[in-house]
Structure 1
């Protein structure tokens, strides 16, 4: 398992990586579906907290595989088998999403998560054995991941009252493993354009869930003719918002933001907010559909917030990570003000969704105008 050339030309996502991403579609879809159901029942705060935890497990397993693959993807039979083991862990995790988000039972999610992480440990050990120049870094990864997985398993036997205080500590330890492994050693040879492409592909996956939610709004509208007009407006606005977020994300090249270890960590960790916000958007659209049918026990402002908050969070996150350095200060201010205006629209819930679509479109126009002037 020799390291890949970080300057390799025409490096693109492999078919195995694409299949790996599709397995995560299942987990993301389950998380968004349960978020919608719990929010519709009026338990918004608990829904958001459980969704944030589940999405961390999904995102963290994906991001660690992605950064390993960009450096050591040999695509031989053993690498493929180990990757399929990680996919199996994703499916186990997905099967436990409902139990965690509804009953606070983390057992199955932890089992699937540990399977994914320990399979990656095997990959790091193989890299350590095959690549002397990266042996110390690889062994640090393997040791750090293993220790934290043991702690996750031990957390399963803790009393229910104690576990909520332990989980944030374990999450912190997880995110400290890469800085620990890479610091003071030779950093792994990531391919900046390949990483940027992998992140963009996962963004497409989570935004695609929003298109499905918009389609569901049309289907419900056809089935309930008395709500057809409002549901068509909802579907149209949902489509505009998803298209706008896509446009915003892909409006600038992003590989230049991951040149060093600190910038790579900021870029990678910051995308948790981007992905989680995009994954929560379809849940918000579905909540709006349920509210229109009188099936959601929520205030109008809360329904508006389930869409406006993910949209604003997505825009502000990708602005901070990739857009801000490419824009003059005046254009940066305009983008931030428009994103905050999306949040302000919650105060007028009757027009919040239409306002969100208009404001997202305005941000797209600003970025296009700024790009042409630049």
Structure 2
């Protein structure tokens, strides 16, 4: 009996769907995204925004590691199930310590070190499971060894060292850990496996929904202690509309186009689409949604807290840039991912990105609620234009031969 069979590992079949355990795993990610948004909202300085981005990148790297593993072996069978629960525990501890990832709070254990060690556990469990899953696949085994040697020594080890330092040195080591890990993964080879294109694309679609859900949660958190009023009602509905429009921008056509390209590809081309379009181009989308969440949180606080702000007060600085820039970054990720997979650049979205960035300076002179309404209007115009202008190709992608 082979080692993989003794461990109860079952390979993922072509056409397999996401398992319930993977959805359960994502609940930890929901919590982590909330903590990242809270970290960013505590202090809207540029340095703290960088810290929040770095923490988000580390948590993203934990999630993508198990998205790839779950496409090779079933996450809910045998030892893989134990590994998933272990990784959930490690990721949850890391998420709990996000407020202390850079600064240790008085009392208890060292928060930065606990964060780094929890991350290390999640990565080592992932590496060990891939080692077992590649028992009878020499190409995958070679890829795992090549990637693991660099990823653990560059990314994870540097992060552990970073948590024993402070100030600029600490941030520099964090940057080196994140950038080094991502770069090593990009250049470490294409010997991975994507057993089910359907599972892979569905997995990343679900994480986008998780992130968009965080943007909605941020609306509620932003006004939780405030009495309901018409500015809060209007602002909340505008924020919900923006999240819904981003959902439309992703799922209506773009996600399907990339998913079809992934399913049609094979060999190294399939691996490159999976890695570049999903692992990499989805990251700016997630960053964009978290930035949007920060902006929405600040807007709702501005319009709802009459004791500290007037309704005519403008949103400015980093919160405003997060609001508009977050949506722009989400669209950049969509355009880039689709362009790599299909070779097509969606020019209407490029125009929308330029318009959104150009609107940031004039929006700083407008009431926060007006700035939010303008952002919603730009997205609405984009979606209406694309739906009408590209009705025929849209119908073909959504209901054509791919679905027959």
**TM-score when scaled to structure 1?**
0.86
| Distance (Å, rounded) in 2 between the aligned partners of 1:270 and 1:173 | 17
Cα shift at 1:212: 2.0
**Residue equivalent to 1:143:** 149
* CA 1:116–1:295: 2 relative to 1, 3 Å: farther
Cα shift at 1:159: 5.7
Contact 1:281 1:307 in 2 (8 A): yes
Cα shift at 1:265: 2.6
Cα shift at 1:199: 0.5
Cα shift at 1:93: 0.8
Contact 1:304 1:353 in 2 (8 A): no
| Distance (Å, rounded) in 2 between the aligned partners of 1:323 and 1:230 | 39
**Residue equivalent to 1:60:** 61
Aligned residues: 359
| Distance (Å, rounded) in 1 between the aligned partners of 2:88 and 2:104 | 25
Aligned with 2:316 (options 301, 310, 319): 301
Contact 1:95 1:108 in 2 (8 A): no
| Distance (Å, rounded) in 2 between the aligned partners of 1:102 and 1:295 | 29
| Distance (Å, rounded) in 1 between the aligned partners of 2:27 and 2:169 | 35
Aligned with 1:373 (options 392, 395, 400): 392
Bigger mean CA deviation after superposition, 364-373 or 201-210: 364-373
| Distance (Å, rounded) in 2 between the aligned partners of 1:140 and 1:35 | 35
1:159-174 mapped onto 2 (5 Å cutoff): 160-174=167-181
SS at match of 2:338: helix
Contact 1:4 1:71 in 2 (8 A): yes
* CA 1:4–1:129: 2 relative to 1, 3 Å: closer
**Residue equivalent to 2:326:** 310
**Residue equivalent to 1:263:** 273
| Distance (Å, rounded) in 2 between the aligned partners of 1:95 and 1:88 | 11
Q: Does 1:155 align with 2:162?
A: yes
| Distance (Å, rounded) in 2 between the aligned partners of 1:214 and 1:101 | 26
Cα shift at 1:263: 2.8
Contact 1:274 1:318 in 2 (8 A): yes
1:204-215 mapped onto 2 (5 Å cutoff): 204-215=209-220
How much is the aligned-residue C-alpha RMSD, in angstroms? 2.8
* CA 1:264–1:326: 2 relative to 1, 3 Å: closer
| Distance (Å, rounded) in 2 between the aligned partners of 1:361 and 1:323 | 22
Cα shift at 1:271: 0.9
Cα shift at 1:365: 1.2
1:199-241 residue CA offsets vs partner (Å, 9 max, x unmatched): 10000011011222333466555x1x6xx22222211110110
Contact 1:92 1:112 in 2 (8 A): yes
Contact 1:90 1:116 in 2 (8 A): yes
| Distance (Å, rounded) in 1 between the aligned partners of 2:197 and 2:141 | 22
* CA 1:295–1:93: 2 relative to 1, 3 Å: farther
**Residue equivalent to 1:272:** 283
| Distance (Å, rounded) in 2 between the aligned partners of 1:326 and 1:353 | 33
| Distance (Å, rounded) in 1 between the aligned partners of 2:119 and 2:125 | 10
Cα shift at 1:115: 1.4
Q: Does 1:345 align with 2:350?
A: no
**TM-score when scaled to structure 2?**
0.80
| Distance (Å, rounded) in 2 between the aligned partners of 1:310 and 1:3 | 39
1:22-171 mapped onto 2 (5 Å cutoff): 22-39=27-44, 43=45, 45-73=46-74, 75-100=76-101, 106-148=112-154, 149-158=156-165, 160-171=167-178
